[in-house]
Amino acid sequence: IMTRDRLLGAAFQYTVIHIIFTGILLLFLLIGTSRWRALVNIGWLQFFGFISYGLYLIHLLAFRLYDRLCRTYAPSFLLTSGRSDLLLLRFAVAGGAAVAVAYLSRVYFEDYFLRLKQKLSR
């Protein structure tokens, strides 16, 4: 299926998938500028947009730190095959910590530099 020799495989190549998701993104951008903007202006998504850069920077560190702490102090919580409950626990703990650190970074660190940029541009 994943080769270009067959029609289905050709349809699932990266370029086609990128075009599809680009179209979806453009659709949401158009909806966001129309009278139906309430459909796409969702509060928790706006929050993640607010902290997205910090979350991008910190999330891998949070997940690796969770794995290292589990390996050292609680090996029974390490992710194993077939244990979706441990996967959800890892996502909740490490993801929650990453979101908290990204929010604190945005409010107490990044906002200072963003305000400084606005002062310098005047």
Region of poorest pLDDT, from 4-13, 86-95, 104-113: 4-13
In tens, the pLDDT along 3-60 reads: 778 777 777 777 878 889 999 999 999 999 999 999 888 899 899 999 999 999 999 9
State if pTM tops 0.75: no
Percent of the chain with pLDDT over 70: 98
Spatial neighbors of 98 by CB under 8 A, at least 6 apart, are: 55, 58, 59, 61, 62, 63
Task: Tell me how far apart the alpha carbons of residues 23 and 109 are, in angstroms, rounded to a whole number.
Answer: 35
